[in-house]
Chains A and B, each alone.
Chain A
Amino acid sequence: MYFAKKYCWLLLFFLIASCGNNLLPSGTDERAQVQPDTVGPEVGQKAPDFAVSDTNGGTVTLSSALASKRGVVLYFTMWCPICDSHMTQMVNTAVPAYPDVRFFAVDYVSGTVADAAAAQAANGFLALPVLADTEHTLLEGYRATMGTTVVIDNAGMIRMNEDYSNGSRLQAVLAGLP
């Protein structure tokens, strides 16, 4: 019985030691101050440049995306249910509200432009330009994952780089674009 109790305590210790940081969630703001005029994925940094094919076969660069626009939004999708939900909401709300901002979905899971185009069509997002990030230039450059939403202003500065969540943060950031 003594051994069984000891074993249970060991098991409990292993369980707590193995799990993530969700048992005691923190609400402390731990964002680091970024150095101005540096290039990187953090809010306040200069956005990393890129040259990526879209699903129409054209090449999109950061400068071409920003041309004559107040900003650019990149939404990272793996064509999952939450991605679909976010993209549907974005297409229905933010896209029509901000015609002077360019919106892109970034497909980082398809290996070819053709696969990305097929996924775009199958998911019903033909009206939303999709970048086929086959080399993971954007995924790695912006430290993104499923649902990551990046807003870059006309000066090339990152204004937002976080999960889409319920879209309210995106709306607030777009409203504050110069």
Chain B
Amino acid sequence: MMKLRIASIAAAVLLAGAAALFPAASWAGSCCGGGSAASLIVPKYARSVADISFDTEIYHGFWNQNWTHTPDPPGSDLRQYRVNFGFGQRLGRNWQASVIVPYVWNVNQYSGLSSRTNGLGDATLNLWYEALDDVSAWRVRGIKDLVPSVMIGPSIVIPTGYSPYDDIASSFDVTGRGFYRVDGNLLIEKTIQPWGISASLSYGTYIERSVNREYGKYVEPYKKKLGDRTSASVSLSYNYFIGSGGDTLTPSISYSYLNEADGRVNEADDSSTSFRKQAVGGGISFSGTDRDWSVRASWSHAIREDGWGKNFPTTDIFTVGVRYVFR
């Protein structure tokens, strides 16, 4: 019974950790669209998980090529809203898969132009292998209590969104990047009650594609490939157990790093698509005694100072989400 309770708490912590760990790393709606790719983990001893979240991303400016922060034009108010539908399914004792599909609204207001567009974002398919399990110790008695949860697996981003290479009229219509991407992912989490720490690392490569149209206009065909993507994040959380029933409130803080290398156009370098972003975040999640339902709210903040990013918008992302675990 005690083992089940610990496993249940570990599952709740894992849920909270995973929610805090993957702040949306989207491309800007104001210039380049982009549905987010969050991660979805099925807790141990659960059959599946369903998740829905709502992101509000507010743009403040961008870091340019020289790592200098520049504000958006005067009178502008640029936002992207996303609803992310996620479903994860356990495939075996140590295997699970998930799919996340975002729907994107771009709402852009400049002093001389306004635009409201929407569409499907890029979908993400994940496959996870649970290499090690965390026993979520209350007290460290031996070396085995220090073993973290380790998950590895590939994911693929499917370009289901509207990209610049579709039959669209302007950059405001863009909701995806237009490229398949294959990632290798590593997720490490460790809980020593009441503290939890987690880290993730991903490396991905885009698949080269042909382009014969840009923003609805046919052009001389060429081959294009975006640069390889590296992302990492760490988070620290604390579990407050409320009352005697086992309700858990988990605040967390996080730091995330995202880098994309130079792309290629007809085998020549394209530095205009490379970027770097660093962000800090905070979040809070609540799960009830039975751990089936959990709700969360989080905030990811790109640091609006010189040197914290390159060629990328600086945004604040506010997320609220609800998740249900099927036993």
Q: Which of B76, B111, B169, B263 has the most CB of A within 10 A?
A: B111
- Residue A62, interface by CB 8 Å: no
Which residues in A have their C-beta under 8 angstroms from that of B70?
A: 79, 84, 122-124
Give residues 3-31 of A contacting B (CB, 8 Å). 15-16, 18-23, 25-31
User: Is A166 touching B268 in the complex (CB atoms < 8 A)?
Assistant: yes
Count A interface residues, CB 8 Å.
Answer: 55
Q: A84-B311, A166-B269, A168-B265 are in contact. List 12 more A-B contacts (CB 8 A).
A: A21-B166, A26-B213, A27-B210, A31-B219, A81-B62, A82-B272, A112-B112, A115-B73, A123-B70, A147-B171, A162-B217, A165-B222
Cβ contact within 8 Å between B31 and A134: no
Binds B, one of A48-56, A65-73, A103-111: A103-111
Known: A22-B165, A109-B76, A162-B214. A28 touches B64 (CB 8 A): no
Question: In the assembled complex, which residues on chain A have CB atoms less than 8 Å from the CB atom of B211?
Answer: 25, 27
A22 CA to B195 CA, complexed, in Å: 44
* Complex interface: chain A residues within 8 A of B313 (CB): 80-81
Residues in B lying within 8 Å of A, measured CB to CB:
28, 30-32, 62-65, 70-76, 101, 110-113, 119-120, 123, 158-172, 176, 178-179, 209-224, 263, 265-266, 268-273, 275, 311-313
Q: Does A85 contact B (CB under 8 A)?
A: yes
Q: Does A46 contact B (CB under 8 A)?
A: no
Interface string of A67-93 (1 = CB under 8 A from B): 000000000001111111110110000
Q: List chain A residues, Cβ under 8 A from B178.
A: 20, 22, 25
Q: Does B266 lie within 8 Å of A168, measured CB to CB?
A: yes
Given contacts A18-B160, A22-B159, A112-B111, contact A164 B212 (CB under 8 A): no
Question: Is residue A97 contacting chain B, with contact meaning CB distance below 8 A?
Answer: no
A146 within 8 A of B: yes
Please name the 6 residue pairs, one residue from A and one from B, whose CB atoms are nearest each other, closest first: A27-B210, A111-B112, A80-B31, A111-B111, A22-B159, A166-B270
Let me know if A79 and B72 touch, CB within 8 A. Answer: yes
- Cβ distance B271 to chain A, nearest Cβ, rounded Å: 7
Q: Which of A94-127 contact B (CB under 8 A)?
A: 107-112, 115, 118-119, 122-124
**Residues in chain B near residue A165, CB distance under 8 A:** 222, 224, 265, 270, 272
List residues of chain A with CB within 8 A of the CB of B269.
166
- A175 CB–B CB distance under 8 Å: no
Q: Which partner residue on chain A sits nearest B64 by CB separation? A: A84
Q: How far is the CA of A25 from the CA of B73 in the complex (A)?
A: 34
Complex Cα distance, B28 from A148, in Å, reads 18
A82 to B273 CA separation, bound complex (whole angstroms):
7
Interface residues of A (CB under 8 A from B): 15-16, 18-23, 25-32, 78-86, 88-89, 107-112, 115, 118-119, 122-124, 134, 136, 143, 145-148, 161-169
User: Which of B74, B162, B168, B178 is most buried by chain A, counting CB atoms within 10 A of its CB?
Assistant: B74
CB-based nearest A residue for B164: A163
Interface majority SS (helix, strand, loop, mixed), chain A: loop
Given A30-B213, A145-B170, the answer on whether A115 and B63 have CB atoms closer than 8 Å is no
Report B-chain residues with C-beta under 8 Å of the C-beta of A147. 171
Cα distance A15–B160 in the bound complex, in angstroms: 7
Chain B minimum-CB-distance residue to A163? B214
User: Nearest A residue to B266 by beta-carbon distance?
Assistant: A168
> For B272, what are the chain A residues with a Cβ–Cβ distance below 8 Å?
82, 85-86, 89, 164-167
- Knowing A80-B313, A109-B73, the reply to whether A18 touches B112 (Cβ < 8 A) is no
Is B160 in contact with A23, judged by CB distance below 8 angstroms?
A: yes
Nearest-CB distance from A45 to chain B (Å)? 12
B221–A29 contact, CB under 8 A? yes
Measured in the bound complex, the distance between the Cα atoms of B216 and A145 in whole Å is 10
A80 and B162 CA atoms in complex are apart in Å by: 19
B179 touches A22 (CB 8 A): yes
Residue on B nearest A110 in the bound complex, by CB: B112
Once the chains are docked, how many angstroms separate the CA of A161 from the CA of B163? 18
Cβ A166 vs Cβ B271 within 8 A: yes
